[in-house]
Structure 1
Amino acid sequence: MKIIAISTRSTDYRSDAGIDKRRLYINGYFSEMAEKAGFILFPVCSQNGIEEIAAMCSGLIIAGRDRDINPKYYGEVPLEGLTYPEDSYEDELDFRLIELFDKAKKPILGICSGLQSLNIFFGGTLKQHIDEHTSKEKLVRHTVKINKDSFLYSLYGQENNVNSIHHQAINKLAAGFKVTAVADDGTIEAIERDNLIGVQWHPEVDGEYQTFKKFAEICF
């Protein structure tokens, strides 16, 4: 059975004893998708032994997260009113994982901010805020148009109705990547370069295990 790495996420909290702590986690949806798709999920908690992890695993999932990527990584300063995490745990872990798995030519699936991490790592930029793609009151959904020559087309065909939980999006596309899905308002919703795939929505939330099964099939 193939082993696929996934980047963990971080949240700070205060214990009942009043001690500040950090919790590292993965979204429970991913364990369900791994079980249904037939692969072993390997959470990566730090850069300790990360080279050995990259050598051992067949592919990589860069998960979405609650905190935005610091714009310093694409040469910008925060827009007025936006705040970013003071620590760089998630940013640096994502970028190091992408570096190692890409060097080994192993497939990577970036989900939501994972797509954004892929784009930034390879030289792209983001729009720091967009409207109409997320809401605190309800789950936003919209249609994306999918290019025929793509990993996604073999799954969904010409279009797919997707969830939308993001207030940032690709601005400048990284060199070498192609846009493979677009929302009606022109927002880039998926990108690909060889076996590097990024989607702006969350297929794990919608239970689309076939997406993960097909990704596992191209892993080695």
Structure 2
Amino acid sequence: MRVAVTMSAEHEDARYPYDFLRHNYIVYLQNLGFVPVLVPNGIQNPEDYLTSLGVEGLVLTGGGDVDPARYGQENTASNEISPMRDETEFRLMQCAVDRHFPVLAICRGMQFMNVFFGGSLIQDIPTQVNAALDHRTGTHSIHVLDSRIEQALGIRVWDVNTYHHQGVHTTTVAPGLDIFATTEDNIVEGILHPAYPIIGVQWHPERPSPSPEIDLQLIRSFLDKAFWK
């Protein structure tokens, strides 16, 4: 199965703008049996690009922040913004919804997924969330709220890695999306769409993980569409 994979953008301050993707995404997706197809930011007609390459799924990767203008806020703490990337990913998401492609959204990808469906973000968790955990580095526990996930995995609490300063709060989730995991400070760690095969995780399953077997089981259950049966 070929899957479209989005890329980070270094456009605003670079003398020679470029897109890039960390190699661990490629390794992880290939180990899952996928053929990754990289999507350049700013490509014309991304819908036709997916069709011409026989793509049947989408992975929204991490890196950088979503432009706050996308969710009706001024920029107070966002950085590494790329409007070009945001527009490319918006069109890819719309294409995935129209074609009922499975979508796996990772870290920033989950945040963008939430914005796409009408939610907003906390621009800087350390300064905007009371008693916030350290979400920038290390690991922390997540708590499953969705019985479908708990049944599929056979576990309710596990540890994940963490690499972000922005996030989705339980109060900023898009209408219609289901929260399936949170942290103790009410930052959302997992969301899914109840009608489409679209799931987002705030952590990085493709990076070294304290719970790699659980991460893999979650993604395989998603690929089997276990949460939509």
RCO (CA 8 Å, sep 6+): is it higher in 1 or 2? 1
In the TM superposition, residue 186 of structure 1 has moved relative to its aligned partner by 1.6
The question of whether the paired residues in 2 share the 8 Å contact of 1:147 and 1:153 is answered with: no
46, 51, 66: which one aligns with 1:50: 46
In structure 2, how many angstroms separate the alpha carbons of the residues matched to 1:93 and 1:152?
34
In the TM superposition, residue 175 of structure 1 has moved relative to its aligned partner by 1.3
The question of whether the paired residues in 1 share the 8 Å contact of 2:67 and 2:82 is answered with: no
In structure 1, how many angstroms separate the alpha carbons of the residues matched to 2:80 and 2:65?
8
3-state SS of 1:127 partner: coil
The question of whether the paired residues in 2 share the 8 Å contact of 1:150 and 1:192 is answered with: no
- Equivalent in the alignment of 1:193: 193
In the TM superposition, residue 170 of structure 1 has moved relative to its aligned partner by 1.2
In the TM superposition, residue 31 of structure 1 has moved relative to its aligned partner by 1.1
Q: Which amino acid aligns with 1:145?
A: H
Which 10-residue stretch deviates more, 50-59 or 124-133? 50-59
Q: Deviations over 1:61-84 (max 9, x none)?
A: 00001x2111111111122xx354
3-state SS of 1:20 partner: coil
In structure 1, how many angstroms separate the alpha carbons of the residues matched to 2:11 and 2:120?
27
In structure 2, how many angstroms separate the alpha carbons of the residues matched to 1:152 and 1:38?
25
TM-score (norm 1): 0.84
Q: Deviations over 1:122-181 (max 9, x none)?
A: 11011111123334xxx3210001134345762472122001111111141111101000
- Equivalent in the alignment of 2:130: none
Bigger share in helix: 2
- Equivalent in the alignment of 1:75: 72
Shift in alpha-carbon separation, 1:3–1:151, aligned structure 2, 3 A: farther
The question of whether the paired residues in 2 share the 8 Å contact of 1:6 and 1:62 is answered with: yes
Q: Which amino acid aligns with 2:198?
A: L
Bigger share in strand: 1
The question of whether the paired residues in 2 share the 8 Å contact of 1:34 and 1:212 is answered with: no
- Say what the alpha-carbon RMSD is for the aligned residues: 2.4
Gaps of at least 5 residues in structure 2 are 127-132
Instruction: Answer yes or no: is 1:112 the counterpart of 2:120.
Output: no
Shift in alpha-carbon separation, 1:156–1:109, aligned structure 2, 3 A: farther
Percent identity over the alignment? 26
The question of whether the paired residues in 1 share the 8 Å contact of 2:178 and 2:193 is answered with: yes
The question of whether the paired residues in 1 share the 8 Å contact of 2:121 and 2:166 is answered with: yes
In the TM superposition, residue 199 of structure 1 has moved relative to its aligned partner by 0.6
Shift in alpha-carbon separation, 1:141–1:193, aligned structure 2, 3 A: same
3-state SS of 1:186 partner: coil
In the TM superposition, residue 39 of structure 1 has moved relative to its aligned partner by 1.1
In the TM superposition, residue 214 of structure 1 has moved relative to its aligned partner by 4.5
- Equivalent in the alignment of 2:85: 90
TM-score (norm 2): 0.81
In the TM superposition, residue 198 of structure 1 has moved relative to its aligned partner by 0.6
Q: How does 1:6-85 map to 2 (within 5 A)?
A: 6-12=5-11, 20-46=15-41, 47-55=43-51, 56-65=54-63, 67-79=64-76, 82-85=77-80
Shift in alpha-carbon separation, 1:53–1:217, aligned structure 2, 3 A: farther
